[in-house]
Structure 1
Amino acid sequence: MGWMGWRLAFTLAVAAAGGLLGHLWGTTRPAHWIDGVLGGALLAVTLLFVRDLVVGHRVLRWLSGGLVDAPRHQVGLWGELTARIERAVRSRDRQIEQERDRLAQFLSAIEASPNGVLLLDASEQIRWCSQTAAEHLGLDRHRDIDQRVTNLVRAPAFVSLLQSRQFEHPVQIPQPGGRGVLSVMVRAYGDGQRLVLTQDITQRERAESMRRDFVANVSHEIRTPLTVVAGFVETLTNLPLSEVERRRVLVLMAQQTQRMQSLVGDLLTLARLEGSPRPPVDTWVPLARIGAAVEADAQGLSASRHRLSFDWGDGVELAGSEPELLSALTNLVSNAVRYTPEGGEVSVRWRNRADGAGEVAVRDTGPGIAAEHLPRLTERFYRVDGSRSRDTGGTGLGLAIVKHVVQRHGGELQIESRVGAGSCFTLVLPAARLRRPVDATTDAAPELR
């Protein structure tokens, strides 16, 4: 029997009890026993109704009070009603909590994205903003809520995109303060709402610019000697030259051919460095052996026109690729010799650092380099003085190779230079790639102790 059956039975029982009491009262007055029965039943039902009013008032007060401290010890209709309401409320609270957790996880996932997310309403007012989007667009994610986005982001391309309502393609806008370049994409959703996605493409644009410059530089560097060689070939073919003139032309052709070979060789070296795995950490190479090859190249290039001095440490060994390390040191020492005037000095010194690392410093007494050029020296084909670099036989890739080699070995290239005071290029190698000879007295010390 459900609560309705119990309620009906209880009401009838109360009415019957009231009627019985009214009948007993009416037996004292036989003429009015029917009135007594009816009056008793009515009185009983009235009392039950008053009780229901009191309980109903308590339930209404409980409902209006936020369903806190539910009325207890209720039976019948009101007990069933309060129990069902309480179960429904608890179920709703659990669902709200679950939805709140899911929303928090979703927002956390958006915050973890490297792309910025901005939600706009139909009036283009900001409804929500991720931290990344705020950093990209120079917004305050809390203060700028409900602000019109075009009042805060005034890039013409972005404003035009919102006004055109043609969202098929993204636009590029500068970051505030000129920090970089953003790609902004807009998508419509809901009832006139907008989803704005921002992506920092500064590095991509820089890489694309470097690629274009690289292709242009390579084309230029190869076209120049090819033009010279082609001109000399035409000269040899069409003009009668004396033996002296012919030999001079052949020497110049050989120089240009060597220049192209050097350029292609450096390009292949860079491609190999960028595409190969990192050098091993368990293959040890004596620094003195690398240094002997570097010294031979430097002395041949100098032809006794400079004062050369070398100190490769005492038995130092390096972990890594011998050809790469040799290429890096040869490039540094060759540059120092080429750019140092006759009678100048070039010195190479090994030094143990206090942090366990080691460094090879290549110092010269050349003309030096202005401070504004130092950050760009390791860029491919970057030259402080293009004509002088070509005269000395440089390809513009040497320092780029050095930088790649030292980074692949976990180190760094440090450059110090002042105009008129020479330059110092230092290869810093981490302690994990160094192995020094063990001093005999150090080994014997534990036994003596």
Structure 2
Amino acid sequence: MTAWGYLVASIGVLLIGAGAFFAGRTTARRRADRPAGLTVADLMGMVVQSSHDGIAVLNGFGDVVLHNPRAEELGVVRNNRVDDRARRAAELARRDGGLVQVDLSPLEVKGRQPEAVHAEVRVLVENFVVVAASDESEAVRLEATRRDFVANVSHELKTPVGALALLAEAVLDAADDQEEVRRFSAKIMQEATRLGTLVTELIALSRLQGAEKLPVLDTVDVDVVVTEALGRSKLAAESADIEVTTDEPSGLRVEGDRTLLVTALSNLLDNAVAYSPPGSPVTVSRKLVDGFVEIAVTDRGIGIAEDQQTRVFERFYRVDKARSRATGGTGLGLAIVKHVAANHGGEVKLWSLPGTGSTFTLRIPAHPDRDAPTPDPAQQELAATPLGGEL
């Protein structure tokens, strides 16, 4: 029997039990030796009352004779009156005798209200009709996210693919001009590299997104992660005339995947370099705070406005689209950082001020090692203040 079948049976038992109770209440009163304890009807009533779905039973006049608290939370029942859409669906089910699907989503979503509520309506016994509603908000949001992702990917892939086609055509037209061929070939290589990076990051993000916390954790040396990430970003920093400095080795360790952590920190460094003016400094610091290892990347770049700070971790979102295009950015780097942190049971935090710079802090649970070093309090206080100023 399906969950719906059990639910209908439960409510049917309740109604039949209620009828039997009222019909035989006189007899019941005469029984002095009635056994104590819960009856089947009591148990069924508890099931309905505790159900995650909203349940409402209507009589032949459309009045609510039974409902659970969840029905009020989902907006199916308000002030002991059923939603007009559910009442019309009940009339249709009573007339045709079949199952009726009805959308009971709020017409105006306020606060933490469910965004999408779907219900099934069917006849129970005689003129009684049951409305069973469920919150489908999460499924609707996931579907919207999937559609946006597909649309964004299509748009992002079309740009380099279209550029490659145009550049290839230009090379054919300038086949006799070696200088032009070299120039267009260099641009083809640049677009091909960008396309390859985009595909690689899309694959990495698809593997990370929706994944649970990493099941197999290795002990990872934070100093090794920092060193490897600095190595990956060295060429880009030198090309932009930006000096990346770090604090002293910490000896800190975390539990996780070294490759993913290096990728996340590299993305933060690449962002810091890409959005900083030539000659400005970028710093990397690490510390232990409340059982978490914090790796902070600070730049003196363009900064991020407060209204954009919650969006920078979205896929394909760019603070400065022109600068991102010029540096070959894909708009996926920070999304990957967010998911790497989440998969490790941590988070990524942002402090930023337009015109001053930004500090991205990757927080990962520390390895449970009693011998882990305790950072100097003065160094902790200095590192906790982004950009050397107050928050």
The TM-score range, normalised by the shorter chain, is 0.7 to 0.9
Question: Whose Rg is larger?
Answer: 1
Please report how far the alpha carbon of residue 291 of structure 1 lies from its aligned counterpart in structure 2 after TM superposition. 1.2
RMSD across aligned positions (CA): 2.9
Distance 2:88 2:337 in 1: 46
Among 346, 368, 372, the alignment partner of 2:282 is: 346
1:135 aligns with 2:73: yes
1:109 aligns with 2:47: yes
* Structure 1 residue ranges, 4+ long, deviating more than 6 angstroms after superposition: 85-88
1:7-66, Cα deviation, whole Å (9 max, x unpaired): xxxxxxxxxxxxxxxxxxxxxxxxxxxxxxxxxxxxxxxxxxxxxxxxxxxxxxxxxxx9
For 1:421, the equivalent position in structure 2 comes to: 356
Counterpart contact for 1:158–1:173, Cα < 8 Å: no
If the length of structure 1 is used for normalisation, what is the TM-score?
0.69
Highest relative contact order (Cα 8 Å, sep 6+), 1 or 2? 2
Farther-moved stretch of structure 1 (184-193 vs 332-341): 184-193
For 1:124, the equivalent position in structure 2 comes to: 62
Q: Which amino acid aligns with 1:410?
A: G
Distance 1:184 1:385 in 2: 45
If the length of structure 2 is used for normalisation, what is the TM-score?
0.78
Q: Which amino acid aligns with 1:362?
A: V
Counterpart contact for 2:171–2:180, Cα < 8 Å: no
Counterpart contact for 1:313–1:351, Cα < 8 Å: no
Distance 2:288 2:63 in 1: 61
Distance 2:148 2:39 in 1: 50
- Same amino acid, percent of matched pairs: 32
Structure 2 gaps, min length 5: 1-24, 375-391
For 2:261, the equivalent position in structure 1 comes to: 325
User: SS state of the match for residue 395, structure 1?
Assistant: coil
Distance 2:185 2:251 in 1: 46
Farther-moved stretch of structure 1 (321-330 vs 409-418): 409-418
* Number of residue pairs matched by the alignment: 342
1:182 aligns with 2:117: yes
1:213 aligns with 2:148: yes
For 1:43, the equivalent position in structure 2 comes to: none
For 1:171, the equivalent position in structure 2 comes to: 103
For 1:397, the equivalent position in structure 2 comes to: 332
Please report how far the alpha carbon of residue 319 of structure 1 lies from its aligned counterpart in structure 2 after TM superposition. 1.7
Distance 1:418 1:260 in 2: 32
Q: Which amino acid aligns with 2:57?
A: L
Counterpart contact for 2:76–2:104, Cα < 8 Å: no
Q: Which amino acid aligns with 1:259?
A: R
Identify if the C-alpha distance between structure 1 residues 87 and 122 changes in structure 2 by more than 3 Å, giving closer, same or farther. closer
Please report how far the alpha carbon of residue 326 of structure 1 lies from its aligned counterpart in structure 2 after TM superposition. 0.4
Among 251, 254, 271, the alignment partner of 1:335 is: 271
Identify if the C-alpha distance between structure 1 residues 199 and 240 changes in structure 2 by more than 3 Å, giving closer, same or farther. same
Please report how far the alpha carbon of residue 101 of structure 1 lies from its aligned counterpart in structure 2 after TM superposition. 2.8
Matches within 5 A, 1:90-105: 90=32, 93-94=34-35, 101-105=39-43
Matches within 5 A, 1:49-448: 89-90=31-32, 93-94=34-35, 101-137=39-75, 139=77, 144-145=79-80, 148-149=81-82, 153=83, 158=86, 161-162=89-90, 164-165=92-93, 167-174=99-106, 177-178=109-110, 179=113, 180-274=115-209, 278-279=213-214, 283-303=218-238, 305-311=241-247, 313-353=249-289, 355-432=290-367, 437=372
User: SS state of the match for residue 376, structure 1?
Assistant: coil
User: SS state of the match for residue 293, structure 1?
Assistant: helix
